[in-house]
Structure 1
Amino acid sequence: MESINRIHHISAIVGNPKENVRFYETILGLRLVKQTVNFDDPQTYHLYFGNEQAEPGTIITFFPWDTTSRGRVGSGQVGRIAFRVPKGSLAYWNKRLTSFNVSFEISQLFGKTTLLFNDSHGLDIALVEGEEMNGYQIMGFHGAVLLSSQPKDTMQTLRDDLGLSVVSEDSDAYHAETIGKEKHHIVIPKERLPRGRFGVGTVHHIAWSVPDDETHRIWQDYLYEEKYQVTEIKDRQYFKAIYFIEKGNIVFELATDKPGFTINESLDHLGEKLMLPPQYEHMQSQLEKSLLPLR
């Protein structure tokens, strides 16, 4: 099997959509690359943020359920989401977060200086320096923390099934990396938290990137043969997706890099309008009136 090269996207549950846009667009400087709706609940937004080119490996998505109760972060979930920023830029981000009254602390969670903070709905976020680049803009993901109910088994899944490289192991956590140029860093704490509950302020799933439909089908067959309860292939309009729950009860997705976010909007105008899946296009006028404004 061809190993997983990178994270494709991470999807989380948040509250008010206007607050969500303000935090990720205004404070963190990410680009809103797609505003659409939940495939299973068209009365709810599905918002995608990423870099200017809307590339896999930079995309964080949100289900803003303004009426949903708070979740409980715990085992069987993705924990803290880490973004990568240019080398030497943490002083800038220190000042920027302070200017927006965002409290933060400094740790060594990802093996180097890491700014830890929460978004407007309590989601755990981090910033970690990467390679040298001009400016201070978020470059994409640095990695994520996986809160497994079976940390050793989750590490084995990442290593033996998905092909990630083992970086290190200490008394507190396992550390792994994807094999692509992004080298996304995955931390699996050995401490087992009580079981999490999905709701506002929690991550629903992490998606791993596969290059094309043929590779996607091969992965589906492989996971089935390895006794994972993998789903049928789902058309998510901007990528194809399969889902399975790994041995530590975390929802994993494998998502294709294509067709991408420019299939129904040009790159220059991504995220400017509500774009609906074909099955909901007849509801365009109704949804534009009922969905809360984003700005």
Structure 2
Amino acid sequence: MTDTLHTPGIHHVTAIASDPSENHAFYTETLGLRLVKRSVNQDDVGVYHLFYADDAGTPGTSMTFFPYTDARSGRVGTGQATTVSFVIPDDAVDYWVDRLESRAIGTNRFERFGDEVIAFEDPDGLPLELVARADAPAGEPPAGPVPEERAIRGFFAVELALVDPDPTVRLLEAMGYEATEDDESAGRRRFESTGDRGFVVDVVTDPSTPQGSPGAGTVHHVAYRVTDDEQAAWRELLREHGLRPSEVIDRKWFRSVYVRTHGGVLFEFATKEPGYDVDEPRDSLGERLVLPEWSENRREEIEDGLPPLSLTATE
């Protein structure tokens, strides 16, 4: 059964941040995403887990963060997902360059594989890109500071920096990705799945790239979309590739399998269901701190231990 498995692309990407208020302001006010879930790191409940996405929290649009107030800056490098790319409409490039630069955010505008790209960093130094595409999905952009016709439509790609890419490439191919582009001079190979969001993975091998180290401004893991009834088969596939997958873990909003790949990047395989609206109406997503049922008896203790988080718009 493992030879029939296929992921349409990214479910979510989770990164490490430092100040939760600064993180919230950047992703909601500057990038125009919606806070669709305010929870805690289920493995460290003294840390927020903040989820930003489109209006509905659609898989393929959700960028999430663990903001550690005492986090040191990480180093972006090999063994990591180094850059996260979002897709925007192809006529929105000038708007986004102006928007970012008006907020003193440095940008680098260039072309890659025929797409216009805007590269920049978030407040913790996480490398981000906006990729302009004529086929950007219409999606469900949130109401907010960015006009709907210019809004981010979800993920386009993640970039994996690897010293020895071959084992990870074989895994990506088993996940349904196919090689589509190759830039030998940049050590970049592109792999694409068949979804409409987050369907691209760029594998980059550059001897000058330093070894990455975790910390604020680095990606924690990349999650791919899978179905509930295939989780056992995904675990089998991962074992066939010499990896040690976790058991299926119930995260309340999705069920997940985790694995550390040979290249060092942590992958997650997450289901669409139940979704972010399983415990909050869509109209009020992100408005309160939500906890898994198994943590509710500790709510007062957890709330008292969390750092300050300002949700007040500054613009």
TM-score, reference length from structure 2: 0.89
Match of 1:88 in 2: 91
Query: How far is the alpha carbon of 1:227 from its aligned partner?
Result: 2.0
Hey, what's the Cα distance between the residues in 2 that align with 1:247 and 1:31? 34
- Which runs of structure 2 are paired with 1:132-143 in the superposition (5 Å)? 135-143=149-157
- Which runs of structure 2 are paired with 1:70-219 in the superposition (5 Å)? 70-109=73-112, 111-130=114-133, 131=135, 135-159=149-173, 161-171=174-184, 172=186, 173-182=188-197, 184-192=199-207, 193-211=209-227, 213-219=228-234
Check whether the contact 2:222–2:268 (CA below 8 A) recurs between aligned residues.
Answer: yes
Hey, what's the Cα distance between the residues in 1 that align with 2:260 and 2:233? 18
- 1:239 and 2:245 equivalent? no
- 1:134-162, CA deviations, whole angstroms, 9 ceiling, x for partnerless residues? 61111000111111121233222211x21
Query: How far is the alpha carbon of 1:47 from its aligned partner?
Result: 0.5
Query: How far is the alpha carbon of 1:282 from its aligned partner?
Result: 2.0
Q: Point out 4+ residue stretches in structure 1 off by more than 6 angstroms.
A: none
- 1:72-111, CA deviations, whole angstroms, 9 ceiling, x for partnerless residues? 1111110110001112001111111122111111122454
Hey, what's the Cα distance between the residues in 1 that align with 2:197 and 2:287? 28
Hey, what's the Cα distance between the residues in 2 that align with 1:31 and 1:96? 18
* Of 97-106 and 25-34, the range deviating more from structure 2: 97-106
Match of 2:46 in 1: 43
Query: How far is the alpha carbon of 1:2 from its aligned partner?
Result: 2.3
* 1:135 match: secondary structure: helix
Match of 1:62 in 2: 65
TM-score, reference length from structure 1: 0.95
- 1:294 and 2:314 equivalent? no
* 1:214 match: secondary structure: helix
Unaligned 5+ runs, structure 1: none
* 1:79 match: secondary structure: strand
* 2:149 match: secondary structure: coil
Match of 1:274 in 2: 289
Hey, what's the Cα distance between the residues in 2 that align with 1:84 and 1:239? 24
Hey, what's the Cα distance between the residues in 1 that align with 2:242 and 2:86? 33
* 1:98 match: secondary structure: helix
Check whether the contact 1:76–1:251 (CA below 8 A) recurs between aligned residues.
Answer: no
Hey, what's the Cα distance between the residues in 2 that align with 1:136 and 1:273? 28
Hey, what's the Cα distance between the residues in 1 that align with 2:303 and 2:192? 41
Hey, what's the Cα distance between the residues in 2 that align with 1:115 and 1:188? 19
* 2:45 match: secondary structure: coil
Structure 1 vs Structure 2 CA RMSD: 1.5
How many residues in Structure 1 have an aligned counterpart in Structure 2?
A: 293
Check whether the contact 1:58–1:140 (CA below 8 A) recurs between aligned residues.
Answer: yes
Alignment partner of 1:32 out of 30, 35, 41 = 35
* 2:224 match: secondary structure: strand
* 1:108 match: secondary structure: strand
Relative distance call for 1:110 and 1:253 in structure 2 (3 A) is farther
* Of 11-20 and 218-227, the range deviating more from structure 2: 218-227
Query: How far is the alpha carbon of 1:183 from its aligned partner?
Result: 6.1
Check whether the contact 1:149–1:249 (CA below 8 A) recurs between aligned residues.
Answer: no
Hey, what's the Cα distance between the residues in 1 that align with 2:75 and 2:17? 12
Amino acid in structure 1 at the alignment position of 2:224: W
Equivalent pairs: percent with the same residue?
A: 34
Match of 1:258 in 2: 273
Match of 2:144 in 1: none
Hey, what's the Cα distance between the residues in 2 that align with 1:252 and 1:290? 29
* 1:52 match: secondary structure: coil
Hey, what's the Cα distance between the residues in 1 that align with 2:14 and 2:90? 26
Amino acid in structure 2 at the alignment position of 1:129: A
Query: How far is the alpha carbon of 1:167 from its aligned partner?
Result: 0.6
Match of 2:7 in 1: 4
